[in-house]
Chain A
Amino acid sequence: MTDMSTQMPQKSRTVGRVVAIARKEFHTGIRSDALQIIFGLLLTATVLVFWASSRSADPTVLSAIGVLGLPFQLLIPVAVITLATGSIAGERATGSLKVLLGLPPSRTEVVVGTFLGATGVLVAGLSATFVIAAVLAVAFFGTLAVGPLVSVVSAAFLLGMAFLGFSVGLSAAASTTKRAMTAGFGGFLGLTFLWEPILAGVYYLVTGSGPSGELPGWVLLIDQMNPIEAYAVVANMAGDVGVTPLRISIGLGGQSAAAEWASTAIPTVLLEPLSFGVLCSWVVLPLVAGMYWFQRSDLT
């Protein structure tokens, strides 16, 4: 028996295994029917947005790119939740996880590899969308507006990553696909519909009255923890193209995040880095929590 652990440093061997799992996840993901349908919808939406914008009263490439930010907010989370909540939980249900874990990878390597493979699928889908959008921008408006387009697509990527970390984390923690998917879509609906009402409730508990007038910094800070809110900030980074967060607002601020922030003591320049940080936290924290649960589960 040869002692394999002396042949190569531990780190590069971990990388090799993670890459192998990521490749597997990418190949199975890209061949999935559900995903192909959703990316078909995304491309169709992109074409429709450009076509409709070019026929509006005041057609500009910037407004078209801004409108593009809207379907992205719906389709990308839906695509990611559909794909990723079924990843590890789905493998657990069918039993392919036993094949994978019967081989040398650790559970952590399986979660990280799955996450990276699904990231690859997201990158492939968004790259295709970006190319199509760039071609359409030139075709309909004769100009590209690279900066705003890059910023809208990058924001969509970060939003996708946030829901990916969230979904893979749930998938690792849940014992069935159904639970992971329910929690995934429940979470998405909660972020869309319940964030502000809950925040208003918290405000009421703290201050004894409903939110009105100028809001304290901590309320805006918590409000900004919503990945959809953070997405809108990032999407407008390279020039305001008017991407608004697609979620139910009960008028906590009633205006754009930047305008709300201008009224507080927290410097507005922090809004963009903060939004980046929020999206990155949504990637990492659920993933780490999911791994924690996954480590401790019996796989039967």
Chain B
Amino acid sequence: MAAIELDNLTKRYGDSLAVDGVSLTVESGEAVGFIGPNGAGKSTTIDMLLDFVRPTDGTARVFGYDAQTETRSVHERIGVVPDGYALYDRLTGREHLQLAARLKETSVDVPAVCDRVGLDVEDADRPSKEYSKGMGQRLAIGMATVGNPALLIFDEPTAGLDPHGIARLQELLTAEVDRGTTVFYSSHLLEHVEDTCDRIAILDEGRLVGVDTIDGLRAAVGSATLTLQELFTVYTEKEGRPSVAAGGAD
């Protein structure tokens, strides 16, 4: 069964199209990276998937449930780190994890979650306003994994993480994928995406300009050696600028 199905998903703000007819299927058990320049519409797409933003046209489905009309069924099956989120300053890390567990109607092993995301278990009893950005991000990732959801949707999960945190996140995502969890996440860390994801979706100016394995993306531009960084440039290149594909392909 498809974990995510976007069909002609569109969001218009006044005259501008933030997301322009995006159709994308993520199969169960897949890890798909969602990349694109700032302002390409990645967060708006994810926000529609989470029912934070309502589409102007098209539909978003998660495990067959409509994101707008069957929101609960969707949210019971996913773990989320949204774009532009914040924690509760006055609640401790433990209280955050317990809140997530109560709302997901499950229990949480706080030390185990802390260990998984690399948060010192002693910090779990401090209010989150005393956390560094990276600690907060680890806690948010920990909250998302409470209840072992079948699909993880992370919007820029590496933001604020130091190299240790990024490595830890990579381990966590790899372990989740090995367990059969579907992973869909946006990131600017292309090496990280390349290492973690089965397929990559590239969004530019609201349109999906490429969805494939890295080899598939390479084949489509006629090169077997481009890095994801170079592919990113090729796929999101504006007209009139020199193309990396023309010069770098051999």
Q: A residues engaging B (CB < 8 A)?
A: 1, 4-5, 7-8, 13, 16-17, 19-21, 23-24, 27-28, 31-32, 94-96, 98-106, 298-300
Listed by A's residue number, 14 A-B pairs whose Cβ atoms lie within 8 Å are A1-B63, A5-B76, A8-B105, A21-B103, A27-B95, A98-B52, A99-B86, A103-B104, A104-B103, A106-B71, A106-B72, A298-B47, A299-B47, A299-B53
Is the C-beta of B84 less than 8 angstroms from some C-beta in chain A? yes
**Among A1, A32, A106, contact of B77 (Cβ-Cβ < 8 Å):** A1
Are the CB atoms of A102 and B75 closer together than 8 Å?
Answer: yes
A1-B150, A298-B53, A298-B54 given. 11 additional CB < 8 A pairs?
A5-B76, A19-B102, A24-B99, A31-B90, A95-B82, A98-B83, A98-B84, A99-B140, A104-B76, A104-B104, A106-B71
Mostly helix, strand, loop or mixed at chain B's interface? loop
Return chain A residues, CB-CB under 8 Å to B51. Answer: 101
Return chain A residues, CB-CB under 8 Å to B99. Answer: 20, 23-24, 103
Are the CB atoms of A16 and B90 closer together than 8 Å?
Answer: no
Return chain A residues, CB-CB under 8 Å to B50. Answer: 98, 101-102
Is the C-beta of B143 less than 8 angstroms from some C-beta in chain A? yes
Are the CB atoms of B85 and A99 closer together than 8 Å?
Answer: yes
Across the interface, name the chain B residue whose C-beta is closest to A14: B72
Chain B 73-104 against A: per-residue CB contact (8 Å), 1 yes, 0 no?
Answer: 10111101111111111110001000110111
CB distance from A167 to the nearest CB of B (A): 19
Return chain B residues, CB-CB under 8 Å to A16. Answer: 102, 105
Q: Would you list the 8 A-B pairs with minimal beta carbon distance, nearest first?
A: A102-B80, A20-B102, A95-B86, A94-B86, A98-B82, A103-B103, A31-B90, A299-B52
Across the interface, name the chain A residue whose C-beta is closest to B44: A300
Mostly helix, strand, loop or mixed at chain A's interface? helix
CB distance from B44 to the nearest CB of A (A): 8
Given contacts A1-B77, A4-B76, A24-B91, whether A99 and B105 have CB atoms under 8 Å apart is no
CB distance from B100 to the nearest CB of A (A): 6
A188 to B102 Cα, complex, angstroms: 36
Residues 58 to 75 of chain B near chain A (Cβ within 8 Å): 63, 71-73, 75
With most chain B CB atoms within 10 A of its CB, the pick from A96, A101, A103 is: A103
Q: B residues engaging A (CB < 8 A)?
A: 47, 50-54, 63, 71-73, 75-78, 80-91, 95, 99-100, 102-105, 140, 143-144, 150
Return chain B residues, CB-CB under 8 Å to A24. Answer: 88, 91, 95, 99
Return chain A residues, CB-CB under 8 Å to B54. Answer: 298
Are the CB atoms of B90 and A95 closer together than 8 Å?
Answer: no
Return chain A residues, CB-CB under 8 Å to B84. Answer: 95, 98
**Among B80, B87, B102, B105, contact of A96 (Cβ-Cβ < 8 Å):** B87
Return chain B residues, CB-CB under 8 Å to A20. Answer: 99, 102-103
Given contacts A99-B85, A104-B72, whether A28 and B47 have CB atoms under 8 Å apart is no
Across the interface, name the chain B residue whose C-beta is closest to A104: B75
With most chain A CB atoms within 10 A of its CB, the pick from B99, B103, B105, B150 is: B103
Return chain B residues, CB-CB under 8 Å to A5. Answer: 73, 76
A27 to B150 Cα, complex, angstroms: 31
Are the CB atoms of B87 and A99 closer together than 8 Å?
Answer: yes
Return chain B residues, CB-CB under 8 Å to A23. Answer: 99, 102
CB distance from B140 to the nearest CB of A (A): 7
A99 to B63 Cα, complex, angstroms: 21
Return chain A residues, CB-CB under 8 Å to B71. Answer: 106
Return chain B residues, CB-CB under 8 Å to A96. Answer: 85-88
A109 to B209 Cα, complex, angstroms: 38
A221 to B54 Cα, complex, angstroms: 42
Across the interface, name the chain B residue whose C-beta is closest to A101: B52
CB distance from B119 to the nearest CB of A (A): 16
Return chain B residues, CB-CB under 8 Å to A105. Answer: 75, 103
Across the interface, name the chain B residue whose C-beta is closest to A1: B150
A102 to B72 Cα, complex, angstroms: 10
CB distance from A61 to the nearest CB of B (A): 39
Are the CB atoms of B103 and A28 closer together than 8 Å?
Answer: no
Return chain B residues, CB-CB under 8 Å to A106. Answer: 71-72
A298 to B47 Cα, complex, angstroms: 9
Given contacts A17-B103, A298-B53, A300-B52, whether A28 and B143 have CB atoms under 8 Å apart is no
